[in-house]
Chains A and B, each alone.
Chain A
């Protein structure tokens, strides 16, 4: 059990997708600067990301590798992510119209999200056993969701701060992301 927990923490914090692996960095800046909206979006992206990664890992382990079809991996992953994102969008639109109005664009963007595809591709190279791989995908998705929330909170905070005129906008965003990424290096010794 502790093994699983270790794997989840390692995937979520120590090898955080965005800050350490540097995939899907764009999602930090593109999505939202409001904490509440970011929380909703984080839940939605977790709902897409975890099944997509799990499915991708399953297909890769039990279909592509035995059949030696590794070159199709990228295509397959994109298809999985896009399908899941659209299923989610459909469900959300039917049951939560306000939520759909708020996050329509972001959910559509999730279908081609580099974080999902990137994480799936990184998983191919991992040497973990399949259950451990599932735990790792869970951690990856969790880490991504967590980061969306944390970074929106951070942006919201410095939005009101007295930032010098030349540093306003993307400059301060990138600076803060850089500092936050360095902070995440501090998790290196945790697991």
Chain B
């Protein structure tokens, strides 16, 4: 009897230690977010939003993550799989910024705005976007004084082309835009 009790206590202690070593809940939620750092959710980046979610914030405020992120979060947090909150933006296919280089005046404003340092260039010299590093967060578009930054669909690159599902439901996964775009 005593032996069984001792074993149980040992087991309990082990469990506790295992829990202590575990990464925090915020990190687990943060790993599910798309890390575009765009701030469309109303928080300053993905980590603050993850922290808010861990405290009970709604999970449907992330347009870049779209349906798939909401689904993953709803499974993780055992919540209802709600559609995206349109107040924070609409579903959109992933985009990347492209600078029209002949119009760029080299003001470095977009470089300062980019949260992931994906724009290279120097003062009075042309800037350009490193396509692989660009999260498509839109943050560089507003500061540009000459409006020379375009957001283009990342899907136009062949690497991210997906086979369409016969019912086209893949579009719901990554989000689709009206036909005229």
Contacts and interface: CB of A to CB of B under 8 A. Distances in A.
Tell whether any CB of A sits under 8 Å from a CB of B in the complex.
yes
Interface residues of B, number: 12
Interface residues of A, number: 10
Contacts of A96: 19
Given A96-B19, A97-B54, 10 more contacts: A34-B78, A37-B78, A97-B24, A98-B25, A98-B28, A98-B76, A101-B25, A102-B76, A102-B77, A102-B78
Contacts of A34: 75, 78
Nearest to B16: A95
B19 A95 contact: yes
Interface string B52-71: 00101000000000000000
- Mostly, the A contact residues are helix
A32 interface: yes
A101 B54 contact: yes
Residue among A37, A95, A101 with the highest chain B CB neighbour number at 10 A: A101
B78 A32 contact: yes
Contacts of B16: 95
Interface of B: 15-16, 19, 24-25, 28, 54, 56, 75-78
- Mostly, the B contact residues are helix
A148 to B, nearest CB: 13
Contacts of B25: 97-98, 101
Contacts of A103: 78
Interface of A: 32, 34, 37, 95-98, 101-103
Contacts of A32: 78
Contacts of B77: 101-102
A103 B76 CA distance: 11
Nearest to B23: A98
9 closest pairs, A vs B, by CB? A102-B78, A37-B78, A97-B25, A98-B25, A95-B19, A102-B77, A101-B77, A32-B78, A101-B25
Nearest to A103: B78
Contacts of B24: 97
A155 B115 CA distance: 43
A103 B75 CA distance: 12
